[in-house]
Structures are given as structure tokens and as C-alpha cells.
Amino acid sequence: MKSIDSFDFKNQKVLVRVDFNVPLDENFNVTDTNRIEAAKPTIDKIVNDGGVAILMSHLGRPKGERNDKYSLRHIVSKTEEILGKKVTFVTDCVGATAETAVAASKPGDIILLENLRFYAEEEKGVEAFSKQLADLADFYVNDAFGTAHRAHASTTIVAKYFGEKKCFGYLLAKEIESLNKVLNSTEKPVTAVLGGSKVSSKITIIENILDKIDHMIIGGGMTFTFIKALGGKIGNSICEDDKLELALDILKKAKEKNVQIHLPVDILAADAFAADANVQIVPANEIPDGWQGLDVGPKTLESLKPVVAESKIILWNGPLGVFEMEKFANGTIELGNFIAEATKNGTFSLVGGGDSVAAVKQFGLAPKMSYVSTGGGAMLEMLEGQVLPGIKAIQE
């Protein structure tokens, strides 16, 4: 697949699927500009070549109806500030209004179309709607990893109207490259850190990556399903009792594939799921009744440090504890520091999945990682071995 650098967009009208689904406060101010910043290199390339960048995105879930709360007009000034250029906002994404605005554009212009999801046809992937979008432009660029796992009109169906005149933007190309680096690495050892509350939500990922990794660090609530399956006492800790056999099966498969599983050896236990709970450090398999594990203990962190330091590739998907409460954030912060140190020494680190991304941002660790993914669901589906429709559409 040709990269965006293989094309010259001079005098081309370029339809760009971006992911500007950004959080807004009650006054419609953008509270996290990452996604807009991430799209800037692709937009810059198009307009610097002398093309017109026609940006399309969704925002929130308006359920196929017009709703000013979800209008992309709210993000225009912030987008102009980040891009350092004027952005022409169009009050529709298809039809006469959009066609007129595009016809009036000049090389180097940036146009932002109204929210795609004001039309139910977007999420349904309706051909006629896709064709209306395609008719606005000469070329199609998909730079929205966050929606690449959806077969929507603007992410997948539209691509077929452009033949060879389509490609990935820089952001989407980087996401694919980073995931491929983890999933197809020739460098060893490869370590996956999997956290989160449920084994069931990670089972497909675990099964898909066992052949590709050397170490798996298990943290978060899913820890206790494994510990209980091994006969440990977990007190009131979260546990999927119907997944105990599955946990044992994962441990067995890992052993067969020479993957070292690292479970916590000690736990910071609390007498309530609360920021002001009483706490004590206990062995991971001896949590007293009435207590629950909410973070890992110091011995666990000590044992993980060399594993992380020696890794050549690290995938981090999920925190080690309930980092949203300060009392239970230490494990996640320390793990982040270990990964940051390893990255500084040449390790490739990929962080993805909502909670781990939130954690690295919250604790100022994001700039110290090799790559922080912009697409939670899309990244998880790629880790599960699925082919994403938005990626396939460009490759076909």
C-alpha cells in the first residue's frame, strides 16, 4: 500500500476521514486536543502540496439526528489554533451546501464538514450516502484509527469509489506500524502487560498474542480470577468465578509456549472500595475475608522491574490497580516509570486501550512512551487478530 508521501496533492480535492471525536466541557471547549494534533501532519501534507483538505468526522452519538450539542462547529476555533490555518466550517456533510463550499475552495484551503452521524446512513454504511461523500473529492485519505474497526460509510464504503486514489494518513499508518511491531517482532523478549477487571474481555487478545510474546504481566482485577483458580484466597476481590477453568487453561497454554506469566506476589488490600479505605499489604494469595485487592504491592513491583528493563518490545494494555484513586495508583505509576526507563534505553513501548492511555496521560508518562495509540476498540480488535474494515478498504 502506497504511503501518503508517494502522492502529490496539488490541485486535488482530498476527502480526509479524521477522528475529531474529542471531549467537550459544558461550555463546548475542547478538553483534550490529542486527536486534532495527531491529524495535523496529514492535513499539513495535503495543504502544503496545494490540495484542498476536506475533513469529515463524527462527534458523540447524535443517533442520526441533528443536535447542536454534537455540532463540529464547536471545535472550529481550537482546530484553527492547532493547525495554524483558517478552517471553513460547512453546516452539512453532503448535498448542495457541502458541494457549493467545496466548489468555491482554493488550493491550500481546509474545509470541515458537519458531523457525519447527523445522518443514520453513516453508521449503517449506506452506499448512496457514501457516494455523496465521494463525489466531493478526487482522492480519499483515511487517518481515523479510532473508527477503523467500524464498517461505516466514511471509513470503509466510501473507499471503493476512489480506485488507486486512496491511502492511509500518517496517523493511521503509524498505528498499523506500531501494532505490527508488537505482533510481528523479531526482537526478543516481547512483554505484554494486560490489566483491567475481567479476563473475559481479554481472552481473545491473550489467545492471539501467546505465540508472539515471551512475558505476560497480569494486573488489575483479572489477577484475582487467576489467583483463585490456583487455590489462593482473594477475600472480597473482584473475580469471575465462571472463568476459573479458563484461567488455568491460559496458564497451561502459556507454559507450553514458554511464555512466562507474572502474577502479583503481594497486594495492597483495602477494607472498602473507597479512596479513604483502610489498607494493608498482604500476600497475593492470602487476602483476608472482607478485604479486596486494589493495587499491587512493593515485592511485585520489585519482581517486575527486571522483566520490563530486559524487554525489547512492550505492549501495555490496562493498569495494575485502581489508579483513579490516589491510594491505589502507585503500582500503575511505578510500572509506567519502569517502561519509560526501558524506552529511554531503546525498548519500543506501545500503550493502548482506554484505561492505560488515561493513566499515562494523567501521570505525565505519555511523552516517555514510544507510541500511545489513539484508538481503544480498534487497537483491541487488531490485537485479537481481526482485520479492520477501515484498513482493508484502503488495501483493496
Q: Is 6 annotated as a binding residue?
A: no
Q: Is 59 annotated as a binding residue?
A: yes
Looking up cell 529511554, which residue turns up? 344
195 catalytic residue (yes or no): no
Out of 35, 181, 228, 368, pick the active-site residue. 35
Q: Is 356 annotated as a binding residue?
A: yes
Out of 40, 124, 354, 361, pick the active-site residue. 354
Give yes or no for a contact between 294 and 328, defined as CB atoms under 8 angstroms apart: yes
Q: Is 17 annotated as a binding residue?
A: no
Q: Annotate 111-136 with b (16+ C-beta within 10 A) or e (fewer).
A: bbbbbbbbbebbbebbeebbebbbeb
Q: Is 117 annotated as a binding residue?
A: yes
Q: Is 289 annotated as a binding residue?
A: no
Q: Is 368 annotated as a binding residue?
A: no
Q: Is 215 annotated as a binding residue?
A: no
Q: State the DSSP H helix or E strand holding residue 279, giving kind and residue range, or none if neither.
A: strand 279-283
Q: Is 262 annotated as a binding residue?
A: no
2 catalytic residue (yes or no): no
Q: Is 61 annotated as a binding residue?
A: yes
**Cell matching residue 77:** 476555533
Q: Is 149 annotated as a binding residue?
A: no
| CA pair distance 296, 304, nearest whole angstrom | 11
Q: At what angle do helices 376-383 and 170-183 cross, to 10 degrees?
A: 40
User: Taking the chain, what is the end-to-end CA distance rounded to the nearest angstrom?
Assistant: 9
Give yes or no for a contact between 232 and 251, defined as CB atoms under 8 angstroms apart: no
Q: Is 49 annotated as a binding residue?
A: no
CA dihedral 351, 39, 97, 133 (to 10 degrees): -70
Q: Annotate 206-240 with b (16+ C-beta within 10 A) or e (fewer).
A: beebbebbbbbbbbbbbbbbbbbbeebbbbbbbbb
CA dihedral 191, 197, 200, 204 (to 10 degrees): -30
Which CA distances in Å does 356 have to 84, 178, 186, 330, 350? 31, 16, 25, 14, 10
Give yes or no for a contact between 17 and 144, defined as CB atoms under 8 angstroms apart: yes
Comparing C-alpha atoms, which of 207, 192, 142 is closest to residue 386? 207
Q: Is 355 annotated as a binding residue?
A: yes
Out of 198, 233, 312, 361, pick the active-site residue. 198
Q: Which residues are designated catalytic?
A: 35, 198, 354, 377
Residues placed in the known binding site: 19-21, 35, 58-61, 117, 150, 202, 293, 324, 353-356
| Binding-site annotation, residues for (2R)-3-phosphoglycerate | 35, 117, 150
Annotated binding site for ATP: 202, 293, 324, 353-356
Pick out the residues of the known binding site for substrate. Answer: 19-21, 35, 58-61, 117, 150
